[in-house]
Chain A
Amino acid sequence: MHTVRLLPLVAWAIFWNPAFSSAVAPAAPASSLTILPGDFTLYGPACRQSLVVERRAQHDYVGQIAADEVSFQSGDEKIVRIENGMAIPVADGTTTITANHASGTATVNVKVVDMTKPFTWSFRNHVESVLLKSGCTTGPCHGAQSGKGGFKLSLRGYDPEGDFVALTRQARGRRITPTDPGRSLILTKPTGAVAHKGGLRFRVDSLEYKILADWIAAGTPAPKPDDARIERIQILPENVVLKKNESQQLIVLAHFSDGRVEDVTRWTLFTSANESAVQIDQTGLATTVGYGEGALTAWYLSKVTTSSITVPMATPAPAAAYKNSADRNFIDQLVMGKLMSLGIPPSPQSTDGEFIRRVYLDTLGILPTLDETKQFMADKAPNKRDLLIEAVLDRPEFVDYWSYKWSDLLLVNGDKLGFGNRDNANQALLWSYYSWVRNHVEADTPWDLLVRELMTASGSNLENGASNFYLLHQDPLDMAETTTVAFLGLNINCARCHNHPLEKWSNDQYYAMANLFSRVRVKQDAGGKSSVVYADVSGDLIQPLTGKPRPPTPLDGTPLALDDPKDRRVHLAAWLTSPTNPYFARSITNRVWANFFGRGLVEPVDDLRLTNPPSNPELLDAAAKYLVDQKFQLKSLMRQILQSAAYQRSSMPLAANELDDRFYSRYYPKRLMAEVLLDAASNITAQPTKFPGFPDGYRALQLPSSSAASYFLSTFGRPDRLVTCACERSDQPTMVQVLHITNGDTVNMKLSAKDNALGKALAAGKSDAEVLDQLFLHALSRLPTAAEKDRVVKELAAAQGYDKRKAWEDVYWSVLSSKEFLFNH
């Protein structure tokens, strides 16, 4: 059970305004100490400002002076006084506040105004804040779609007008007792005086209680159209460098449309994007628990902002540790910059064997042949890795692999297109859609062109494969959601029912976006074998909340007139694929990046929301910009990635970078995707897998649909291609997979087949050592170590006659089930 955490009354204040500088923290004084937030103004008697004394070294904030080591001194106690590190106004006027610490002093200017003006709490800005921070308007409570206990508030208070009605008018007004505020249900319930399913939310002597009680006593003033509106929020310090096990109190400032700036730390929801580095509690106190970088998110009145805390390694790697890593391109510069700022040393370069295996698997989805590996290892050319990269990018298997990848994204699914006809091999619509994808990969079509063609696809879905996209998604909501996830990395489906709680997308924007698809029509051909997709000139999607259609608008793009007869999708596609659309380039860049590095700059790869910041924002921006400059030629981006020293690092961790899992100090091993793994097992044993209906020798990666029956593939996490989501594919190892490798027939049958690779090698009279070398080199791209050879040869020697072959099969099995084989590393 959760019980409410009572916030200590240390870190709060209501009004704040930097009287002299703007919202930015002040320039560093001569002293190395600074008082955050800098110069400020206090508005009226209810106003407070928390003070944090921060140390600076050069340009960085480097940590907070513990509150009990500082003494604050007001320049004039008659104007402002200090209590527990909190500035409290006394009377109008200006003065200073000085912080004294053993290491120095710091001073800020303070202005106090409005002490004689009458004051009431605002419903829009204060009452809603109390309701959110106390948990009332959250999803599990009254913010749920159906409310709780018959009482419904808008999720996170996005609809103050509606909440006002719910509080004051609904249920015959029983929630408020104007004549005796303390008897109001909205006070007796959360304080536990009356039974409350949600438990105790705040106490009678709390500020929360006081704000609600004062607001009722003032006659429950309604939210007014001319209320000051929140414009943005800001975290101080925005960036700070700390050591492990240090704490930092954050201050959150809210900027309002009337120019006021309030300290809203107390009302802010905090989250940490990387809890292994930084944790944060709901008072805004961040604590570093590990090394690395932690992005912190603050949420207040539907505004979101982030700050970051950097925790360099306790003993940063010496400068020499970075010297050996090549500086090949912008990727290396930005990765190395991050690593140096964190004191994480990069792993050395991978071996040639590791590199050729890695490039093949990541780019082509196949293992290099024995000869290719040997040749590459023997090659003495200094630029042999670059040559290999060029050769790989040009191979026909490139088309198989990337067609498969994009078919995952575009949901090429024979079951759906075949209306239940499972004969994938003879599924005309499936082949039409798949061939469209494949032809574009083969032609190296720029990503923006491909997406534009898909978005505006019309005509027979037999002749124009792209139009099958509209067959798979038959309603405008579905089309809008799929489009934004697939090409922008944005999940807008929350906004289907209410404003997105973590993003800026509103219900209005959602329906404006979906209305772009409301004129897409699908007509079945006579005979019912195919359909024609076309854009109608009339028809609109109704927004349920208002009962009216929204002018069709691509998210934050420009609207089309409702009566504009042209194909709305053309307007959408232009906005979507524009080089100035920041989401489009970043989304595809992140997908390509994740394919090679095993971890996207943003994870999950299709969740590019503001509250889920990239591990290296400058790098994502630079890579996206590079792709735009290269006119969306994906191969150009791939080339940069493959050539970078960051990609070519060893996967073996150093003691000092073992914990890093997001800054690319080494290559992160990843389990082979299901199809690649099956093909690799077939390849090593020279026993192709047979897929019903497809010609012999067809590899799993060449299948047009994800619905070809295969127990192996579905067990190893092949996506169903039903919903566009990176979560559909799973590369997570599970027990069932292990059981299948160990006891199942896929691997065991390949091993026991008489004429498999093993059988041929033994029949050719090769020595044990030769066969073993060959197996290791082919499967793992390395030769066995002396210790491995020694122990394997012993096992083989112990086996006689018929068992000899079985012992060899067991050796093969041990390689095919090893982590080194199952992972790309």
Chain B
Amino acid sequence: MLRITGNGATRTCDGLSRRDFLQVGTLGAVGLSLADLARAETAAKKAGLKKPGNDKRSCIMIFNLGAPSQIDTWDMKPDAPSEIRGPFKPISTKVPEIQISEIFPQMAQHADKFSLVRSCYHTAAAVHDTGHQMMQTGRLFTGGINTPHAGCVTSYLMGRRTDLPAHVIIPEPMGRTGGNLPHGQDAGFLGKAHDPFALMADPSKPNFKVPDLLPPADLGEARLDRRRRLRSVVDDTVKNFEATADAQLLDAGFESAFRLMTSVQAREAFDLSKETTKTRERYGMNRFGQSCLLARRLIEAGVRFVTINTFITVFDEITWDIHGSKPFTSIEGMRDIVAPAYDQGYSALLEDLTQRGLLDDTMVCNLAEFGRTPRINPAGGRDHWPQCWTVKFAGGGVQGGRVVGRSDQIGGVPAERPIDPGEIVATIYKSLGFDLETHLPGPQGRPFALVDFGKREIHELF
């Protein structure tokens, strides 16, 4: 029996049995095909059951892995001593009250579209991994409980909108960042069914294609058909297997994989060659730029949540992680390589989403795991600093051109309106239309609050 309400209806103050969720989590187990599901969904619509969120809203989460220095980017301290203010100068933006670093000239022209939160902080250990967990799931992992990424929560609560998966990670999941802890980038206790679809490819590569999405080149349509025919020959012999839940789940897997593979809409969404060279160049012919462009295409095609990792690791890659010494990055590395690509890709994304009328319903949030030490270290870089940093929000109901919170004179601690990761994730949920009182099916069937008690969205943004 299918209970549509189990799939995300908001509930408060009621112990929700594990089974409610299992019934939907393992559709296959109760013998439902996708067609059955579609029928049930229609029936649910007729019966007036509402989705637990705003069906029109989407989210692009840009994760600035490595963690930008707040002082060198969006929270400059020009009046501080030189060992604090660093080498860069502030520039004016389209919004008179906002100044940002000279390394982001294009962003400055779009300051009316985004708002800054300059008082973000967390209190966990200053390793990248903890920040990843907290900023993507709203919580630090404790007691073996892996809380789900906001995009996976979206997948659980809202399901997929089209043939495309609900949540896609571009270009690939975060790799090693030194802490050897989980990064909070999967569905955790919600189960593998809600894990994100990871692109696992660099969209800026000339021969870019999504691994496994399309058959290998030598496998034409004729052969695919032949394979499908042959497979049904073998599978028909053991039809009786279908009494088993996992066997049904496998069939469902074949069906949705087939849907994805054969859906023109889905295939085209991943095909960057459909874009003009001019557009592609506007985003920047690099991994981050093309990731932003791909994210826009996916949102347009119906994906609900896209996570872009600006980098995959902090080792031996030029990233935001400007310790100043090898194998990390120097301030100059950031200035010459990281910032220009970021400036171009991000501003192009905001511009493009605006022109296409998508920004109102697409939240673009730019997060990072922490900030960097106000004082420049002996190697000329800056180290980890979770006490204070800046994040950005645009679209999805967020008003542009605002600044929420303030740091002290050296960007060391929040001086006004301190904001923690729980509130950041609550802000995303708010934009997607979720009731913050919703409960998810937690480990061992216990109800798990969507956000920790007392966490609210940053209301000044809306």
Contacts and interface: CB of A to CB of B under 8 A. Distances in A.
21 contacts: A1-B11, A138-B15, A139-B15, A140-B15, A140-B447, A197-B437, A419-B180, A422-B176, A501-B446, A661-B244, A711-B200, A730-B192, A738-B257, A739-B213, A742-B261, A743-B215, A819-B238, A819-B250, A819-B251, A823-B247, A825-B238
A710 to B, nearest CB: 13
Contact of A725 (B144, B230, B245): B144
Given A197-B12, A743-B261, A738 B254 contact: yes
Contacts of A731: 246
A735 B256 contact: yes
Interface string A328-348: 000000000000000000000
Contact of A271 (B17, B193, B244, B249): B17
6 closest A-B pairs by CB: A814-B230, A733-B250, A2-B14, A738-B257, A818-B234, A146-B453
Q: Which of A711, A807, A814 has the most CB of B within 10 A?
A: A814
Contacts of B261: 739, 742-743
Given A810-B223, A813-B227, A736 B178 contact: no
Interface in A777-812: 785, 787-788, 791-792, 795, 806-807, 810-811
B253 A791 contact: no
Contacts of B452: 146
A722 B243 CA distance: 33
A375 to B, nearest CB: 24
Given A734-B192, A735-B253, A653 B235 contact: no
A723 interface: yes
Interface in A260-318: 269, 271, 275
Nearest to A731: B246
Contacts of B230: 791-792, 795, 810-811, 813-814
Contacts of A275: 17, 19
A733 B245 CA distance: 10
B10 A1 contact: yes
Contacts of A199: 12-13
B180 A420 contact: yes
A71 to B, nearest CB: 37
A587 to B, nearest CB: 16
B284 to A, nearest CB: 28
A819 B235 contact: yes
Contacts of B122: none
Contacts of A759: none
A269 B17 CA distance: 12
B7 to A, nearest CB: 16
A806 B218 CA distance: 9
A576 B454 CA distance: 41
B246 A733 contact: yes
Contacts of B195: 734, 736
A493 interface: yes
Q: Which of B219, B226, B233, B452 has the most CB of A within 10 A?
A: B233
Contact of B234 (A419, A733, A735, A815): A815
Given A199-B12, A739-B260, A658 B243 contact: yes
Q: Is the interface of A mostly helix, strand, loop or mixed?
A: loop
Q: Which of A416, A651, A668, A743 has the most CB of B within 10 A?
A: A743
Given A670-B244, A734-B249, A735-B257, 14 more contacts: A140-B439, A197-B437, A416-B180, A653-B240, A723-B144, A732-B192, A736-B197, A738-B257, A739-B260, A817-B227, A819-B247, A820-B235, A820-B237, A820-B238
B206 interface: no
A607 interface: yes
Given A420-B176, A820-B238, A493 B13 contact: no
A131 interface: no
Interface of B: 10-15, 17, 19, 143-144, 146, 165, 176, 178, 180, 182, 191-193, 195, 197, 200, 211-216, 218-219, 223, 226-227, 229-231, 233-235, 237-238, 240-241, 243-247, 249-254, 256-257, 260-261, 437, 439, 443-444, 446-447, 449, 452-454
A269 B15 CA distance: 10
Contact of A653 (B10, B243, B246): B243
B454 A146 contact: yes
A413 to B, nearest CB: 9
Nearest to B214: A743
Contacts of B213: 739, 743
A415 B180 contact: yes
Contacts of A740: 212
Contact of B257 (A607, A742, A748): A742
A792 B254 CA distance: 21
Contact of A138 (B13, B144, B178, B182): B13
Interface string A741-753: 0111100100010
Contact of A733 (B11, B197, B253): B253
Nearest to B233: A791
B63 to A, nearest CB: 20
B192 A717 contact: yes
Contacts of A825: 238, 241
Interface string A88-113: 00000000000000000000000000
A235 interface: no
A658 B216 CA distance: 39
A810 B447 contact: no
Nearest to B238: A820
Interface string A706-720: 000001000001001
A614 B13 CA distance: 30
Contacts of B454: 146
Given A671-B246, A810-B227, A811-B230, A744 B211 contact: yes
A649 interface: no
A744 B254 CA distance: 14
A742 B261 CA distance: 10
A669 interface: yes
Contacts of B218: 752, 806
A212 B260 CA distance: 58
Contacts of B192: 717, 730, 732, 734
A26 interface: no
Contacts of B250: 671, 733, 738, 819, 822
A135 B243 contact: no
Q: Which of B10, B143, B245, B452 has the most CB of A within 10 A?
A: B143
A738 B253 contact: yes
Nearest to A419: B180
A597 B453 CA distance: 42
B453 A748 contact: no
Given A419-B180, A820-B234, A743 B19 contact: no
Contact of A669 (B12, B219, B241): B241
Contacts of B245: 661
Contacts of A496: 143
A144 B229 contact: no
A653 B239 CA distance: 11
A815 B261 CA distance: 21
Interface string A1-13: 1100000000000
A481 B13 contact: no
A481 B241 contact: no
A491 B444 contact: yes
A1 B15 CA distance: 12
Contacts of B237: 785, 787-788, 820
Contacts of A239: none
B396 to A, nearest CB: 25
A739 B257 contact: yes
B180 A139 contact: no
A135 B14 contact: yes
Nearest to B23: A275
A323 B240 CA distance: 24
Contacts of B182: 720, 722
A56 interface: no
Contact of A652 (B11, B17, B240, B260): B240
Contact of A734 (B19, B178, B193): B193
A333 B126 CA distance: 59
